Copies of this chain bind each other. A is one copy, B any other.
Amino acid sequence: MIPVHVRHQENPPMTTRTLTPDLLQRMDAYWRAANYLAVGQLYLFDNPLLKRPLTLADVKHMLLGHWGTTPGQNFIYVHLNRVIRKYDLDMIYVSGPGHGGPAVVGNTYLEGTYSEIYPEISQDEEGLRKLFLQFSFPGGIPSHASPECPGSIHEGGELGYSLSHSFGAVFDNPQLIVACVVGDGEAETGPLATAWHSNKFLDAASDGAVLPILHLNGYKIANPTVLARISHEELEQLLRGYGWSPIFVEGHEPALMHEAMATALDTAVEQIRAFQRDARERGERTRPRWPMIVLKSPKGWTGPKFVDGLPVEGTFRAHQIPIKVSATSPPEHLRQLEDWLKSYRPQELFDANGRLLPELAELAPVGARRMGANPHANGGILLRDLRLPDFRDYACDVPEPGVRGIGDTHVLGPFLRDVAKLNDEQRNFRVFGPDETLSNGLEALFDVTQRQWDAATEPTDEFLAPSGRVMEMLSEHQCEGWLEGYLLTGRHGLFNCYEAFIHIVDSMFNQHAKWLKVTAGLPWRRRIASLNYLLASHVWRQDHNGFTHQDPGFIDHVVNKKASVVRVYLPPDANCLLSVMDHCLRSRHYVNVVIAGKHPAPQWLSMDAAVKHCSEGIGIWPWASNDQEADAPDLVMACCGDVPTLETLAAVSILREHLPELKIRVVNVVDLMRLQPSSEHPHGLGDVDFDTLFTRDRPVVFAFHAYPWLIHRLTYRRTNHDNIHVRGYKEEGTVTTPFDMTVLNELDRFHLVMDAIDRLPQTGDRGMYLKQKLRDKLIEHKQYIDCHGEDLPEVRHWRWGQSDGSRKQP
């Protein structure tokens, strides 16, 4: 049973104390040291130990940074250090609030990890000077927990993902505890508000634990926070309703708060261990009401109480720089800053050389137990390769192009199933998705694993278990956040999602891609497994969902990020999908976006051909082309994506039947970034290679899966760009058949043929005649679909290479 309140009382009874007076005094000194470092980072250009009176020249010209959350986080950090030592915990720290940079930087400096990684930031006066200077300074480090900071897997820039990241980190890490500081500002975001429910997806036996510390700091930038301004009763109900057992630590008087926090943390850690023992040793299966801490402390705690007559500590005015100090500010501000710095009594904390006194330094854990040095927070260190089956073993048989497949993702399913199986022992692979693993065609996974689910079950449920490799919650934010946390701590995974709704995590993708870019430039950060997206249920097959479910624009968003980080694949069939996914699961430090269909669709390439095609990323399909004997084709028909490939081949078969003298080349694109110049993307084709494929002057009709202008954006520098005519999705169509969708967006075989003829004046009257036939065909299509609700038989039953109606008589 957890005591609900450990609120300190102003006159605490003289009962047994968690902290001895000596320990309390030293912890308070350590906290003061961290606070001193924070104010130093915010303000000091020089004179880091205040060995001489503070002057304006000692203060940075541009004062940029955030004080508000920092002392509270320093307080938490010093207390976590204590329980790590007491219980020998394997613990990392996630700093959720917006701008806790000074806290995590200062504390990792105090514990020694910062100087180990950045030797020039040494543990002496000169190191302190540099530590202070670099903060929020050009060429320096940001004002929030950032990749540069050791011990961080979570960037405090955009808000809302701390809890999801923390849960992702502890999945399959049974010894790990993530202490996750949740800001009461970020707690207002949607992603954080639903992330509390992660406790229904955690297995006490095989996963670690998250200890949320809700920091009721009271204010955001300018506003109070919601959770700080509801009644205590409501807040407690809310957290209990989320399934947590809150322990409240409230107050402002340091000594009392130290004791209360220490007691709360001991209680929480012991409760976590008890739950874990129950699950691991006694097989207890009821969902624990995990402990959490609510720390209510003043914003800008220990900072100036009043500045210019206005209250600061405990108000929104403590958010950034509490005291403006500059040549134009009132002179007393400088003195007030000096008094503030001295209030921490630095001479009692650091020796004359600027080194933390040994009796304080020993409060920190040692070695890899230091939160800044814990390898989980630099997951690449722990990353082990996946054991992958040979993807060729899952090939579908393609004796000739155009045989009907069962749905490409359904072919991928058994491969993923065996990835899950082969890595079951090392427990480092999970599949995430918002309730769509079945809907996206990956049902084979459930042959070997389950959905991890720790809420109640009923007999009619399927595929639920306390532990499993599939994570499903109807929140793309949670899926993304969990997966990111899982990857950042050195494991592997896949996010499968409806294509349109992956936009829900656009901004999370941004932040992760930025993290990858920055960490790739930090030699001490090891590379992690790639973030893999499988976007099934794509724009062309929203037969009954219609317009709201159609948006292929995620890749437009993705390619805005650094070329060194992003990869986009559109496999045209199942064998290509297998090859691509194998590649993605082996890759490191990328974001891979894979778009694939789930519905029965024609298959084009044998596995050998698929492997070759995917390793090239782009190529001519000779069996579909008839320009082999010619110096150059009359026409290039290019395609990218499963549906555009089908329509292109159907168009080619019409052209070859009716205008057999035309020399046509079919080019298929799997790896979208091959289209960019090699100067722009590492996968980019050289200009000569590009010209060899697309010619320098022949018309190109390009059928593309997504918005057509993306192709122009990628190819505008190419020689033949002016002759590239692109069809793609242009926000037309809603509930209708798959073929009608292509008609409404003019990507269908008939429009593609007409587009080609328009660019081939040499086809003359026969071209004109064929166009007229196709216009009639489109009218027939429209009438047929209105009447029957399905496509023309010749479209439904079209097969490459068969002399069917559509080829005889368009």
A interface list, Cβ under 8 A from B: 60-62, 64-65, 136-144, 146, 155, 157-160, 185-186, 188-195, 197, 200, 220-226, 229-231, 234-243, 311, 314-316, 435-439, 451, 453, 455-458, 460-464, 472-478, 500-501, 503-504, 506-507, 510-511, 514, 517-518, 543-549, 551, 553, 556-557, 560-562, 707, 709-710, 712-713, 716, 721, 731, 734-737, 740, 785-786, 788-790
Kindly list chain B residues whose C-beta atoms are within 8 Å of the C-beta of A740. Answer: 138
Chosen A-B contacts, 30 in total, with CB atoms closer than 8 Å, are A64-B735, A142-B546, A157-B546, A157-B547, A157-B548, A159-B474, A185-B435, A186-B474, A188-B473, A188-B474, A188-B475, A188-B478, A190-B190, A220-B474, A222-B437, A223-B435, A223-B451, A224-B453, A229-B457, A237-B240, A238-B240, A316-B462, A504-B507, A514-B731, A518-B734, A553-B557, A561-B731, A710-B713, A712-B712, A712-B713
A138 interface neighbour in B226, B462, B707, B737, Cβ under 8 Å: B737
Residue from B146, B191, B721, B735 within 8 A of A190 (CB atoms)? B191
* Shortest Cβ gap from A479 to chain B (Å): 11
**A719 to B626 Cα, complex, angstroms:** 34
Q: In the complex, which residues of chain B have a beta carbon less than 8 angstroms from the beta carbon of A551?
A: 507, 510, 560
Nearest B residue to A185 via CB reads B474
Chain B residues with Cβ below 8 Å from A736 are 138-139
CB-contact partner of A506 in B155, B195, B506, B547, under 8 A: B506
**What does DSSP make chain A's interface, helix, strand, loop or mixed?**
loop
Considering the chains assembled together, what is the distance between the CA atoms of A625 and B556 in angstroms? Answer: 36
Q: Are B221 and A435 closer than 8 Å at their CB atoms? A: yes
Instruction: Report chain B residues within 8 Å CB of A460.
Output: 311, 314-316
Contact flag A789-B192 (CB < 8 Å), given A144-B548, A435-B185: no
Cross-chain contact B790 with A61 (CB below 8 angstroms) = yes
Find out whether the CB atom of B712 lies under 8 angstroms from the CB atom of A548.
Answer: no
Identify which of A159, A192, A314, A455 gathers the most chain B CB atoms within 10 Å of its CB. A455
Contact pick for A139, options B500, B544, B786, CB 8 Å? B786
Minimum CB distance partner of A188 in chain B: B474
- Please name the residue on chain B nearest to A509 by beta carbon: B503
A195 partner residues in chain B, CB cutoff 8 A: 190
In the assembly, what is the distance between CA of A439 and CA of B548, in Å? 34
Among A242, A243, A510, the most chain B Cβ lie within 10 Å of the Cβ of: A510
Looking at the assembled complex, report how far the CB atom of A281 sits from the nearest CB atom of chain B, in whole angstroms: 25
Least Cβ–Cβ distance between A376 and chain B, in angstroms: 22
CA separation between A62 and B559, bound complex, in Å?
37
User: Is B190 a contact partner of A560 (Cβ separation < 8 A)?
Assistant: no
Name which residue of chain B comes closest to A446, CB basis.
B222
Query: How distant is the Cα of A438 from the Cα of B160 in the complex, in angstroms?
Result: 21
B190 touches A478 (CB 8 A): yes
> Are A716 and B721 interface neighbours, CB within 8 A?
yes
Asked if A220 and B435 sit within 8 Å, CB to CB, the answer is yes
CA distance A64 to B437 in the complex (A): 19
Q: How far is the CA of A553 from the CA of B438 in the complex (A)?
A: 33
Flag if B455 contacts A224 (CB, 8 Å): yes
Q: Which of B237, B435, B456 contacts A230, CB < 8 Å?
A: B456
Residues of B near A61 (CB, < 8 A) are: 788-790
Choose among B158, B477, B544 the residue that contacts A143 (Cβ–Cβ < 8 A). Answer: B544
* Residues of the B chain whose Cβ atoms lie less than 8 Å from the Cβ of A545: 142-144, 157
Q: Which residues in B have their C-beta under 8 angstroms from that of A473?
A: 188, 226
Q: A507-B504, A548-B158 are in contact. Are A194 and B197 (CB under 8 A)?
A: no
CA of A724 to CA of B119, assembled, Å = 46
Chain B residue nearest to A220 (CB atoms) is B435
Instruction: Please indicate the chain B residues that have their CB under 8 angstroms from the CB of A517 in the complex.
Output: 731
Given the known inter-chain contacts A221-B436, A731-B517, A789-B61, please indicate yes or no for A192 contacting B190, CB distance below 8 A. Answer: yes
B789 and A62 contacting across the interface, CB-CB below 8 Å: yes
- Name the distance in Å between A400's Cβ and chain B's nearest Cβ: 27
Chain B residue nearest in CB terms to A310: B460
Given A142-B546, A143-B544, A229-B200, does the pair A137, B789 have CB atoms closer than 8 Å? yes
- Tell me whether B230 and A238 are in contact (CB under 8 A): no
Return chain B residues, CB-CB under 8 Å to A194.
Answer: 188-190, 192-194
A737 to chain B, nearest CB (A): 5
Q: How far is the CB of A167 from chain B (nearest CB, A)?
A: 14
| Nearest Cβ on chain B to A379's Cβ, whole angstroms | 19
User: Chain B residues near A157 (CB, 8 Å)?
Assistant: 545-549
Q: Closest B-chain residue to A136, C-beta based?
A: B544
In the complex, which of the residues A61, A141, A503 has the most CB atoms of chain B within 10 Å of its own CB atom?
A503
Q: Give A385 Cβ to nearest chain B Cβ, in Å.
A: 29
Contacts A138-B735, A230-B456 supplied; 6 other A-B pairs, CB < 8 Å: A141-B735, A189-B474, A190-B190, A221-B435, A239-B241, A503-B510
**What is the CB-to-nearest-CB distance from A502 to chain B, in angstroms, rounded to a whole number?**
8
With the chains together, A127 CA to B504 CA distance in Å? 39
Residues of B within 8 A of A546 (CB): 142-143, 146, 157
Contacts of A561 in B (CB 8 A): 731
Q: How far is the CB of A503 from chain B (nearest CB, A)?
A: 4
User: In the complex, how many angstroms separate the beta carbon of A5 from the nearest chain B beta carbon?
Assistant: 16
How many Å from the CB of A349 to the closest CB on chain B? 27
Q: Are A188 and B197 in contact (CB under 8 A)?
A: yes
